[in-house]
Structures are given as C-alpha cells and as structure tokens.
A and B are shown apart, each in its own frame.
Chain A
C-alpha cells in the first residue's frame, strides 16, 4: 500500500506534541511508548500496519477540541478512531499522525422515549445503544455484524448498515444530530431531536465522510418501537442463481422483509461444520428471510413468501415455529464469518450490485475466482444487493495475499461495471482508495475533495483515505509547501 511521505515537521514535533497532549489530557489520556502503540498500528484490516506518533484518548468533547488544536498547532495529522473495527483500514495510522480515539467517551446522555431519540457519546458500542432502550420496547436500527464491538463514532464515519437496513435504512437515515469538533478545534452542533436538521444537509455530508471532515463526539440517534414479533424462514435452492432470482421476485411482490440474507454452498458447508445449525446440505444456496409484526401479519407475509419461493423449486424450506428454532436459523448466518475463519485466511469484500444483477454477478464471481485458482464464499444482505464475497487464501504461501487482493479488485470492478458500487457499508478507507477512479470520474472526485477543502483546509484529518493519492497529489503538495 502506497502511503504519502511522512511530514518531517510532524515527525520532528513528536516530543513537544506528546508533552502538550499530556498536559491537556493527563498521563492517562496519552499513549506514546513504542510497546503500547503497537495496539493501535492497525484496525480490523490487519494486512496493513503502521504505528502512529502517539495516541490521544480524551474524556470530554472539550478535551477532544483541545487535542485537535494541539495537533493543528504542530501541523500533525489526526486519525480518528472508534473501536478500531474497520475492515477497510479506515483507522489505519500514518507514521506522522496522532490517533484520536473516543473509546473513553461512552456515556448515555439522554433517553427520550416520547420523542423517540437517544443522545450518546460516540465511544459507546452500537449494541449498548439498543441495550439502553430495549427494556422500554425500543431499539436502534442499524446493526452491523460487529455491533458488539464497534463504536457509534465509527458507524457514523462509515455510515454503517447491517442485516436489517432493507427496512430501516442505514446509519445516515437514523442519525438526527451530532456534536462535531472541527479540524480547527471548534465545537458545533448540527441537527438535534427535531426532524430535518435545516439548511444545507451537513449531517448527510458528515455521515460517511470517514472521519475526514470533523470528529463526532456526541450523536442524537433515532430509536424505533420494537415490532411485536419477528420470524425467519429458511429456504434452500439448487443454485445461487435461482436464489438470486427469488430475491428479486420477493421484493417486486410488494413485501419488504426486514432482512433477506444469502449464503452459498461453500459458506453453508463451512458454517455447518462449525455451528451445526442443521442447514440443508443439498442446497446450492440458501436464503434467510425475516418478517416482522403481529402473529397474523407474520403469517400473512410468510404465506406470500412461501408461494414465491415455491415457484423457484426450493430444495428445502424451514419456518421457525418458536424462539429456539428462529435462533437456530440465525445461528449459522451469525457464525458465518467465524466459521470461514476456521477455513483459513480470507478477505471480506463489500460491493453492492443492482438486485436484478445478482444471478449474473454470482456466476461471474465464480468464474473470476476459478481464473485465479482461488475459492470464494458468498454470504450477504441480498435484499439490497450488498455482497460480501469472502476470498479464501493462505497468508503464509508467498504471493497468495497479492493474488487474493487482485481477485478482490476484479470483483469490485465487476460490481461497478454492472451498475453497483465499490462499498455498500464498510467504507473506502485505504483498502479501496485506489479503485475510486473506476467508479467516479476525476471531476466527481474533485467535487468531493472540494468539500474536504471547506471543512479541513489543511487536510489534516484521516490522511491517505478515500481519495486515490494520484488525484490529491497537487493539493497535498501545495499544503506541504505552505
């Protein structure tokens, strides 16, 4: 991975920087020893590592602002970090950067059921937000599969999705307001408990900007009343293509299930070995379709879904009749990533394709994988076309990582070529940075970079992410010459 030349000014400022940060945050708020910095040298994209100059862990918004001002004064870039679960290298440090983490800021500030929102510090984990309101019959909808560990800060930075976003939308659709620390160290509120934040939709810009426009320290999140009940049905099909066709038919019928999850044969085999969920071993692919509502509503929707599935010649159909059976159906899906890990190393991709293209994309995915002599397993959110091909490889075999990465790039380009995009919920980070010109023209990226110029004129926030280095060369050179 090509990274920009570290700033000599920033490297040279390290000692003074650490002293200033320590004075502002206290010794507990700063990590600077080589041994301890190792823990921050990567996120969940572990193939790339680089220790930062230091790590700052403020406890309040004011401390965040102070740390930002200190870094700005020393001309040191900042890499924001939530829980470090990014699969795209969104929190990968550069050698000349300070990691600014919100891990110590995890307080629930306000719960308002009448107005259906919760206000939190953004170091809190995704699952804890729902945990806070569950007892009162509410939940927070976005549910990325890392929800036990991932922080709301990272969810906002990457505009995270999850299995249930077909019905409830992704983070940006459930975010009502933020407290933002600008790269100058100012603190400003955008939006709040009211709907529509007003003025230009800056909230929409901030969400998904990968920590490059400001640091979000507090968030006001929309909470929803829990449905009366939910029930999954599992349907096995002969091939992936048939399963893909069934997905499009369900959506066209006018039913919006809360989730439609897809697993192909390699994935079924692996999870069955690992989790023993009792999945049909003769199926080439399976769908888990979950619907919500009262008992009657669930039954009404499932009748329609069963009828649609029947038209595609299912090899297995299993409907949960109680809580335990529902759990069993979800068990395999939820342990899929862990099970795949047992098979060896893998790269998890995140492209999206138009739902109608699913059968073709699955077929071409298999062909491309064959061409590289690699295996690919598919497990993904089918209702919205968000694919997660897992490329299996052996990290210890020389050249295999590079080969797997090359296949990954080909598969993402395929997603774009059929009308989709490079990333549906993980973000660009460093991982897909250099593929951006496959999806966007230079003019399109220029307009995005102009937004960055407005918020972060010195380009100090989360360097070397999102934009290919080639398109930001001039800007970075001009800033370095300042």
Chain B
C-alpha cells in the first residue's frame, strides 16, 4: 500500500498517468470519511486529494463559489456563512452514520452526491453544481461548465461528476451556485400520525404555496411516538405568516406544535440530515428513493418481511432510511423486490465490507443503462484504475 498526496492538479494528473501505465488501481480519497460507502475497493495505491485545498473564487454578489476538491467542508461552510450564504443542498456528514473520523471534504460530498433534507425544495448536489475540473483515468485534466449559473455550452459533464464515487474522474475543483442563508427558520411538528397519514400530511404541506424546505417523519419519534416535521425558512415576517397558514391547513391532521428557536430547528434538521436514528446502532442501513406516496406501503410490507429497527422518512416520503439486521443478504432481496415493483432505487449505505462485497450496494441497472455505464467507464478510465468496482 502506498499513499500518494499530490499538491497540484498537474501532479495528480502525473500520478494517475503513472498508475494507468502500471495498470495499478487507485483508491481515491478526500478526508476518508466516506470510504465505507459503495463496494470495497481493492487497490495497492491510495490517491488522496486532501492537499488540493482552498477556495478559488467566491463572489457573494453573483452567488458563485469555486473551491478545490480537497477543501474541508467545515472551511467551505464557514466561508459561506461569513457572507450569509450556504450550499443549497444541505450536504450530509456521514461520520456519525459510518462511525468514521477525519474531515469531510467538498470533493467527497460531491462524489457521493450527499444531499440532505433541503433536496426537496432546493434540488440535489448536482443541481447546485455549475462547473468542475477533474482528472480522467488517463491523467488528463478536463474542465466542464464554469462559474456562471446559466450555461448550456456543450454536454453537461458537471452533473455526471456528482455521485460517480470517483470511478469516472478524480475531482480537483468544483463550482457551485450558492444561496442566501435565510434570516430565520421554524419547524412545525405533529405527533402521533401513522406512516400513511404522515406522508399524506407532508404531501399537502409540500403542495401548498408556503415553501416547505424540509418534510420528514420519524415513526419512533424522540419520545417513542411518531413525529412529523415540516421546516419553513426565510425572512422573519414571512416565516411567521407561513407558520400560521400551514398550521391552519394541517389542523385536521392533529395538534401542530411550533419550534421557532433557529438553533433548535437547526439541530433537529441536522439529526434528520445525518440519519441520526440509525447512527451508533448495529445493523445494515439502506436508503430508498421512491415516489413519496408509495413509501408507507413499501415500509409496511418490509416490516412484515423482516425486522426494521429504525425507519426515517425524508423528502416528504421520497427518501426512506431503514435500519435492519445485517444477516444473510441484509434485506437486499426483499427491498429490491419493492423498488423493482414500484420504481425508484435502493442503496446499501452501511454494512461490513464482506456484505458490501457480496450484495449489490447500488440498484442493479437495466441492460441498456448498464451498457452505457460500462461504456462511460471505458471512455473516462480506459485502464480501469479509478476506484475499480466501487460502483459494481
């Protein structure tokens, strides 16, 4: 095992060119907090992007932010916060869930497309991205997109770079459209709803004009009883107004409690973002992306089939987190039977390397898409050295 830590894009390119010539697989890491995602990579060399760090361009007046891939997420967030701005997609910090240590990086968050609860209203990681630089599997640096938010010049490789787990290119620089951090936030809470009722309640809230920026449901809740949560953000008067309107609209679902202390609201949604109900507990963790109204039925059928030790609905039901014992296939067959029948996809987010090697971590693709995936890998990384096998 050798660790390569280039401190420039050119040096990184040279390291990749060298590995390609030697046909020596590379495991790509940033802060190393997300290496437990995807399938285990067998590589003799580790290529760290951590030394490609720093903010390249930040224009608050243009909502534009560009930084090197190895920049710590904490630095990114602090820099934006100093100007009253933030990344729109609320990137998840995987450390608590995966039990990892280290500093999450911007490139790591992008490589796994780590979107949080605000994905519901603000879009995913890829929706905020406006430009990338990456090194392909031949060691060639490639630029795509740029630093403006409206750009249709040529093919959009920017989005392709989100959620590719370092298998198509090693990210070196990423540009984002950022957004103002709202003046304040509030959280509406309804307790006691069963899953179906909760998803109906969230659909009604999200379908209203009151700009809900988070909609989650925890069937176990903080005190053991179910809790449904809706987040509102914006200017203070506007949040107060919308809180009132939404409380009235949802009255028929039950009593609506309101949390208006922004610090408490932030903490509540941080817990949703980082899948707190699953963290520190034994078992395999799955994430399902489904049509929201299908979610309660899927969970109900899975509960009948196997133990679900924790469940969390996010994105108004569009994202389901599941904690289930890691025995046999860790539930893969039962879960994938649901995504096959109803559409959507399931990803095994946490399991031992042995389980992740034995089970499809990502949803298997139809033949035509699998062929395209394979073709892209061959054309971005002809020697097959970038995180080989990580995505299957």
Contacts and interface: CB of A to CB of B under 8 A. Distances in A.
Same assembly: yes
Nearest to A198: B345
B79 interface: no
A420 B148 CA distance: 6
A227 interface: yes
A10 interface: no
Interface in B137-164: 140-144, 146-160, 162-164
Given A137-B209, A201-B159, A186 B150 contact: no
Contacts of A251: 61-63
A352 B151 contact: yes
A61 interface: no
A454 B143 contact: no
Contact of A448 (B113, B157, B344): B157
B362 A352 contact: no
Contacts of B362: 198-199
B168 A427 contact: no
B142 A443 contact: yes
A112 B292 CA distance: 11
A115 B64 contact: no
Nearest to A452: B155
A426 interface: yes
Interface string A164-207: 01000110110000000010001011101111101111111101
Interface in B271-322: 289-293, 315, 318-319
B261 interface: no
B127 to A, nearest CB: 5
Contacts of B291: 115, 192-194
Nearest to A453: B379
Q: Interface extent on B, as a size class?
A: 35 or more
B244 to A, nearest CB: 10
Given A352-B150, A425-B152, A443 B127 contact: no
A236 to B, nearest CB: 22
A300 B237 contact: yes
Contacts of B155: 205, 208-209, 448, 451-452, 466
Interface stretch (B42-50, B118-126, B219-227, B324-332): B118-126
A422 B153 contact: yes
A301 B234 CA distance: 11
Interface in B197-212: 200, 203, 206-209
A153 to B, nearest CB: 15
Given A198-B345, A249-B61, A385-B148, A455 B119 contact: no
A218 interface: no
A421 B145 CA distance: 8
A441 B143 contact: yes
B154 A201 contact: no
Nearest to A226: B209
A377 B209 CA distance: 37
Contacts of A355: 59, 61-64
B99 interface: no
Nearest to B378: A454
A439 B154 CA distance: 10
Contacts of A192: 291, 343-344
A448 B379 contact: no
Contacts of A301: 235
Nearest to A454: B375
Interface string A227-259: 110000000000000000000110110111000
Contacts of B207: 113-114, 116, 138, 225
A199 B373 contact: yes
A352 B160 CA distance: 22
Contacts of B153: 421-423, 428, 432, 436, 439-440
B149 to A, nearest CB: 5
Interface stretch (A11-19, A28-36, A123-131, A291-299): A291-299
Nearest to A355: B62
A113 B292 CA distance: 11
A169 B140 CA distance: 31
B372 interface: yes
Nearest to A195: B318
A378 interface: no
A196 B362 CA distance: 13
A354 B209 CA distance: 31
A356 B241 contact: no
Contact of B150 (A189, A248, A256, A384): A384
Contacts of A268: none
Contacts of B136: 447
B363 interface: yes
B209 A201 contact: no
Given A182-B368, A192-B343, A297 B147 contact: no
Given A173-B127, A297-B235, A439-B153, A114 B203 contact: yes
A440 B62 contact: no
A459 to B, nearest CB: 14
B115 interface: yes
Contacts of A248: 61-62
A419 B57 CA distance: 11
Interface in A353-392: 353-356, 381, 384-386
Contacts of B315: 195
A244 to B, nearest CB: 11
Contacts of B140: 443, 447
A450 interface: yes
A441 B380 CA distance: 17
Nearest to B148: A352
A356 B57 CA distance: 13
B380 A447 contact: yes
A379 to B, nearest CB: 15
A52 interface: no
Given A114-B293, A194-B289, A300-B238, 14 more contacts: A116-B207, A173-B123, A182-B368, A196-B163, A202-B372, A207-B156, A252-B61, A296-B241, A300-B235, A385-B148, A420-B146, A440-B143, A451-B157, A454-B372
13 contacts: A138-B207, A189-B366, A194-B345, A198-B347, A297-B241, A356-B61, A356-B62, A385-B150, A419-B146, A421-B146, A439-B154, A453-B375, A455-B375
5 A-B pairs with least C-beta separation: A204-B159, A454-B375, A254-B180, A198-B345, A424-B150
